[in-house]
Amino acid sequence: MSRIRAAVLGSPIEHSLSPVLHRAAYQELGLGERSYDRFEIDEAALPGFLAQLGPEWAGLSLTMPLKRAIIPLLDEISDTAASVETVNTVVFTEDGRKVGDNTDIPGLLAALGEQGVQKVESAAVLGAGATASSALAALARICTGEVTAYVRSEARAAEMREWGERLGVDVRTADWSRAAEALAAPLVIATTPAGATDELAASVPAAAGTLFDVLYDPWPTPLAAAWTHRGGKLLGGLDLLVHQAVLQVELMTGCPTAPLAAMRAAGEAALRARH
């Protein structure tokens, strides 16, 4: 049986644009027989869901809270995923193995590279958690100096310093009460939930550098809007989502090149329709 099914799992999941992007890719590639769905699945339901999947499944995309919960249920994970203990992609092989990968890290790098951000002398990360660790892994390849992570607890701070040591990144941590200081960095990566950075919008400096705000709905965030007003370079969650989805499509279909432009256009149209 052909492996023609895929889906995104998470909770909540209704907001996910992944079906829009993957279906646009299938249409552009002439893969009309393939399907891509979304399922509301939490950590408790994940083992049962995986167990009932048949041989028609090609792969899965994973969002919160499943990016680490999935790991014990897999047969192997890539070095990239292992480096941050975070899996956002599962590919089912012909021999029935479940292989985990992480396309967020190369997706972050590809999105930054598309905007001409190849190297930075220092950077700031707002928040902690799975996306923040992926951001550190990306920064390990392009940041030549110190990364400062702004977090809300000492436990989170210790976690980010540990990730820095593992990834070979010089990480300094600071309390969230000082988060406005982050905005002076040449590259700021905001990994926090909706609303968390709204209070920082009034503190955007006159000479703003590059902000990568990983949210895409609602968009723009108050911080992103203020950044644009100051003339800074801005990347949003759709940039990350599209670039990581391109890699997922290639992994799940075996096609060497996914249609980036068509996927981006579909995502932009879907966001416009929502608002």
- What are the residue boundaries of the structural domains of the chain, listed by start? 5-102+242-274, 106-235
Order of all β-strands in the sheet with 187-190: 171-175, 147-151, 123-126, 187-190, 210-213, 233-235
For residue 142, give both structure tokens: 């392009």
> Does 233 participate in catalysis according to the annotation?
no
Judge whether 139 and 108 are in contact, CB under 8 Å. no
Predicted pLDDT at 98: 98
Predicted pLDDT at 40: 98
One DSSP character per residue, the chain reads ----EEEEEESS-TT--HHHHHHHHHHHHT-TT-EEEEEE--TTTHHHHHHT--TTEEEEEE-TT-TTTTGGGSSEE-HHHHHHT---EEEE-TTS-EEEE--HHHHHHHHHHHTT---BS-EEEE--SHHHHHHHHHHHHHB-S-EEEEESSHHHHHHHHHHHHHHT--EEEEEGGGGGGGGGSSEEEE-PPTTTTGGGGGG--TT--EEEE---SS-S-HHHHHHHHTT-EEE-HHHHHHHHHHHHHHHHH--S---HHHHHHHHHHHHHHH-
Superfamily of 106-235 according to CATH: NAD(P)-binding Rossmann-like Domain (3.40.50.720)
Q: Which residue has the tokens 């968390």?
A: 196
Per-residue pLDDT of the chain (275 residues; tens, 9 = 90+): 589 999 999 999 999 999 999 999 999 999 999 999 999 999 999 999 999 999 999 999 999 899 999 999 999 999 999 999 999 999 999 999 999 999 999 999 999 999 999 999 999 999 998 889 999 999 999 999 999 999 999 999 999 999 999 999 999 999 999 999 999 999 999 999 999 999 999 999 999 999 999 999 889 999 999 999 999 999 999 999 999 999 999 999 999 999 999 999 999 999 999 87
CA 30 to chain centre: 27
Predicted pLDDT at 111: 97
Do the domains at 5-102+242-274 and 106-235 have one common CATH topology? yes
Active-site position among 67, 98, 119, 233: 67
| Domain 5-102+242-274 class, CATH top level | alpha beta
Predicted pLDDT at 1: 52
